[in-house]
Structure 1
Amino acid sequence: MWQILRQIVRTGIVSEPPPALDAALQAEVRRIHDELLAILGQALAIRQVDAGSCNGCELEIHALNNPYYNIEGLGIHFVASPRHADMLLVTGPVSRHMEEALRRTYDATPEPRLVVAVGDCGADGGIFGESYASCGRIANVIPVDTVVPGCPPPPIEILRGILAAVKVNPRGGRPI
């Protein structure tokens, strides 16, 4: 046991150097962060809803929470209850089994509320389309403010979509 501890102390922490940051992407993320803070002036609570996706979009949404994008530092955070949310971030084509749950989630979100459809499936049903098992796009079930295309869209595009939804009407609600 003591040999292992001595070896650990002698060796120290061994790791790779951090990857070089893309300056252009970092500048774009910072600009979007500053713009969101200027528009909102307060925190934005988001409830993410998976309405039947393949989880590709969810992986990109989770990347928004890593230190590279750091949306928590900006005041944007994800909440567990739609009753605490200002915005719904919905992914996937709406499966028939999730149709009622999505409507209830939308109804439980207090006014003014924003809805962002993420991914090609959320925008137009994607490869799943409309069928006996799928309602298709999210707008077929609830009103959508902004659509973020891509399969899956990169985190920076999701961040731009959130910004676009907030810019349309900073106090939330339906665009005028």
Structure 2
Amino acid sequence: MFEQELDSIEDALLITTLEKAVAWAQSSSVWPDTFGLACCAIEMMSIVSSRYDIARFGMERFSSSPRQADLLIVSGRVTHKMAPPLRQVYDQMLEPKWVIAMGACASSGGMFNNYTVLQGVDKIVPVDIHVPGCPPRPEALMEGILRLHEKIRAGVPPAYEIRGVAE
């Protein structure tokens, strides 16, 4: 009861805690690094167009360097040959860092249940958000980004802090 009263006072007076302000700033300035490997990458590229405009979320800067990114969007099927470069990109990213697995192939290997395709990118890097679909529409990726923003604002730690880093 007291906590609800405190929240309403904070809202009425427009005050907040330092943790909430930092979480809001982090969620409003996520810089994605893209790891597009297949057909999902085309759908991922379309979210920077004027129709979807992720600039309204502070994400208009797609980084080509993992050292300047804090969100890795893995889209498409990851082969065992591409797993080490993917892990290297993830390791070079700044902390805190988040990962979105976009599409059925990145999430679970999709229809490619064979020896060459990794059966889920979460075997290499800890995933925060899974976006379903084959390929998922840009709207689905936008929904995944919004869910990630909600997690960040709620103070949910990144997946590597919760589950540890895959070996």
TM-score range for the pair, normalised by the shorter chain length: 0.7 to 0.9
Paired with 1:109 and 1:130, the residues of 2 have a C-alpha distance of 30
Report what 1:157 is aligned to.
140
- Residue-by-residue CA offset, 1:54-74 (whole Å, 9 max, x unaligned): x32111111111111111243
Q: Give 1:135 shift.
A: 1.9
Alignment CA distance shift 1:136-1:120 (3 Å): same
Report what 1:84 is aligned to.
68
Q: Give 1:130 shift.
A: 4.4
Report percent identity of matched pairs. 33
RMSD: 2.0
Alignment CA distance shift 1:168-1:74 (3 Å): closer
Residue 63 in 1 paired to residue 18 in 2? no
Q: What letter is aligned with 1:101? A: P
Report what 1:114 is aligned to.
98
TM-score by length of 1: 0.69
Report what 2:34 is aligned to.
48
Alpha carbons 1:49, 1:88 under 8 Å: kept: yes
Q: What is the number of residues matched between the two proteins?
A: 135
Larger-gyration structure (1/2): 1
Alpha carbons 1:58, 1:91 under 8 Å: kept: yes
Alpha carbons 2:72, 2:99 under 8 Å: kept: yes
Residue 173 in 1 paired to residue 164 in 2? no
TM-score by length of 2: 0.73
Paired with 1:44 and 1:96, the residues of 2 have a C-alpha distance of 28
Q: What letter is aligned with 1:161? A: G
Paired with 1:106 and 1:57, the residues of 2 have a C-alpha distance of 19
Whose strand proportion is higher, 1 or 2? 1
Alpha carbons 2:41, 2:76 under 8 Å: kept: no
Q: Structure 1: any 5+ residue segments left out of the alignment?
A: 1-37
Alpha carbons 1:49, 1:89 under 8 Å: kept: yes
Paired with 2:28 and 2:57, the residues of 1 have a C-alpha distance of 9
Paired with 2:24 and 2:138, the residues of 1 have a C-alpha distance of 20
Q: Structure 2: any 5+ residue segments left out of the alignment?
A: 1-22, 163-167
